[in-house]
Structure 1
Amino acid sequence: MDLRIDGLCVTLNGQEIVRRLSLDVANGHVVGLVGPNGSGKSTALRCVYRALRPSSGTVWLGGGDLFALSLRESARTVAALTQESGSDLDFTVEEVVALGRTPHLRGNQPLSARERDLCRHAMERLDVAHLARRGVLELSGGERQRVLVARALVQEPRVLVLDEPTNHLDVRHQIELLSLLRGAGTTVLVVLHDLNLASAACDRIGVLSEGALVAAGTPAEVLTPPLIKEVFGVDAAVVPHPMTGDPQLLYTLLSPAPERGRR
C-alpha cells in the first residue's frame, strides 16, 4: 500500500515542530527518516500512526485519507513501534505478541489456530520464541524490543512505522531486523539514527532539519559530505561498502575545545 505524506504541519504549544513535510513511500519500499535530535522525525511518525492529528496537511494511505478511516480499520492497516512502546504489566512474551491480533478480534474472541501459528512464526523470526513463557519485565532492553517488533508483525499491517527500532539491539539483531524489513514486502517508514544502517536498509531516505525536509532520494543521492556537514555539523567521507556497494560514512572526530584559562 502506498503511503503519502502531503504538506504535513504540526504546531505544539505555539511552536512549529513539522513544517510542510511531503514524502512518498511506495508500496513495498523501505523509506528512512534521518536528522538531528529535535528535527521532527518522531512527531511526523506520530501523525502516521494516529497518535497525533496534524495541524494541517494530509496522510494518504492507498489514495484515501488516513484520518477518514475508523480507528479499528487504521489499526488493521498501520502497525507502529514507538520509542515509548512498552508495558508496566508483566505479561508473558507470547501474550504481548498475541496483542498484535487485537484489531482483528471481537471482544474476548480467542485466537484461531492460524493466528497462533502466526504468533509462533513471528517469535521465531525475531529470535524470541525461546522466551515465550518469560515475563517481558524480566527481559533485557534488546529482547523486549524484538518482542515488540514481533507484535507489530503479527498485526499483519500493510504499512509498518518504526521509530528507532534498532535501539538496544546488538549488531547481529540490528542486521537481522533490518534485513527482515527489506524482505517483508511491507511498506515501511522508519526513523534511524545510524546513517550507515539507513544506507544499507532503505530504498530512499528523507533528511529532516528543524522540522523541514531538506533532501530526499536514494542513499547515494542524499548521503553526501556537504549535506552531512550542513545538517549534522560533522565532517564525513563517503566510501562504497566493499561487499554491497552501499555508501558508507566515515566520520572525523571533532577536536575538543580548549579549556578556559589554559594555554
Structure 2
Amino acid sequence: MTGHPTPPTRPARLRLDALRVTIDGRALVRDLSLEAGAGRVTGLVGPNGSGKSTALRCVYRALAPTGGAVRLDDRDLLTLPRRESARSVAALTQENGTELDFTAWEIVALGRTPHLRGNQPLDARERDLCRRAMADLDVLHLADRGVLTLSGGERQRVLAARALVQEPAVLVLDEPTNHLDIRHQIQLLSLLRRTGATVLVVLHDLNLAAAVCDRVGVLADGTLVAAGTPGDVLTPELVREVFGVDATVVPHPLTGAPQLLYSLHSLEGRP
C-alpha cells in the first residue's frame, strides 16, 4: 500500500429518511431511518434477507424507494441529475461482474466516467488517481491483465479501485470483503477508514464491522432494530435475538473494539 489513499470530494452527510421499499406486495424495507455522518464509516448488519442490500440499492439509485427518501446533505437524491448523483455516490455492489474482457486498468479508469464528457481522455492527474488507487489495493501489477482472467478476489479489488477513483462524497459497499483473503480484507477496510469519504457498508462479519465502523445499524425483517456504536449495539442479547446464536463479547486487547466469540454448539436443539 502506498499510504496515500485517493482523496474524495467533500464528504456528504447521508440520511435514510423513513425509507420504504415494497416489491410484489412484500415489504423489504420498513420505515428505515439511519444517518451516516459525513466522513464516517457506518455499517449495516443483519441476517440474510433483512433488507440491507435493498436499502443500499436505493442509495446508489438502482432502485427507487416506495416511500421516504435518501438525502445527501438534506437534498433528496432522486431530485439530483443523474450525472451529479453519479459524481457524488460510488458503489461496489454484489452484482459488479462484467462479461467484457477489459483490462484491469480500463475497468478502474471507468470510475472517472461521471467526470468526463464524451470520449475525453484521462488527464495526468486522473491517470495518477488510477495508479494510486490500484497501488493501494495491490492490483497495480495487474493493470494489463484482462479482468476475466483474474481471480474473484483480484477482480473485487479492481472494482474497489474503480469506486475510489470516482472521488465520491459517499462510498457504498455491499459485502466488499467477499472473495478476499484476510490480508486483503484488512487492507480494504483500513483504506475505507482513511479515504475521508462518507462510507455506508454492508458486512456479514460482525467482528470486521466492529473493527471498522464508527456506527452500526442492525436490520431484521426490513426494520432497524438497533443503531449506535459497535460497543453499544453488538451485545450478546442482540446477537441472540437477531441472529439466533449465542456469543461472548470481549474487548480486543489492542483496540478495545468488541469481538464476538461464537460457540459451535449454540445452535444445538434449535430449528
Aligned residue-pair number: 258
Which of 148, 165, 179 matches 2:190? 179
Which of 234, 237, 246 matches 1:223? 234
Which of 160, 168, 175 matches 1:149? 160
Q: Which residue does the alignment assign to 1:70?
A: 81
| 3-state SS of paired residue (2:185) | helix
Identity of aligned pairs, percent? 73
C-alpha separation between the residues in 2 aligned to 1:237 and 1:181? 27
Q: Which residue does the alignment assign to 2:221?
A: 210
C-alpha separation between the residues in 2 aligned to 1:41 and 1:181? 19
| 3-state SS of paired residue (1:208) | strand
Q: Which residue does the alignment assign to 1:112?
A: 123
| 3-state SS of paired residue (2:100) | coil
Q: Which residue does the alignment assign to 1:10?
A: 21
| 3-state SS of paired residue (1:52) | coil
C-alpha separation between the residues in 2 aligned to 1:42 and 1:103? 23
Which of 55, 65, 70 matches 1:59? 70
Is the aligned partner of 1:243 residue 2:254?
yes
C-alpha separation between the residues in 1 aligned to 2:268 and 2:194? 45
Q: Which residue does the alignment assign to 1:164?
A: 175
Runs (5+) with no aligned partner, structure 2: 1-11
TM-aligned CA deviation for residue 255 of structure 1: 6.2
TM-aligned CA deviation for residue 256 of structure 1: 7.2
C-alpha separation between the residues in 1 aligned to 2:195 and 2:30? 31
Is the aligned partner of 1:40 residue 2:82?
no
TM-score by length of 1: 0.97
Q: Which residue does the alignment assign to 1:261?
A: none
8 A Cα contact 2:87 2:167, kept in partner:
yes
TM-aligned CA deviation for residue 254 of structure 1: 3.0
Which of 136, 147, 153 matches 2:147? 136
Per-residue Cα deviation, 1:113-167 (whole angstroms, up to 9, x for no partner): 1111111111101100000000000000000000000000000000000000000
8 A Cα contact 2:246 2:266, kept in partner:
no
TM-score by length of 2: 0.94
C-alpha separation between the residues in 2 aligned to 1:187 and 1:44? 16
| 3-state SS of paired residue (1:110) | coil
C-alpha separation between the residues in 2 aligned to 1:8 and 1:256? 33
C-alpha separation between the residues in 1 aligned to 2:71 and 2:158? 29
Pair member with larger Rg? 1
| 3-state SS of paired residue (2:63) | coil
C-alpha separation between the residues in 1 aligned to 2:209 and 2:166? 24
C-alpha separation between the residues in 1 aligned to 2:140 and 2:258? 35
CA RMSD for the aligned pairs? 1.0
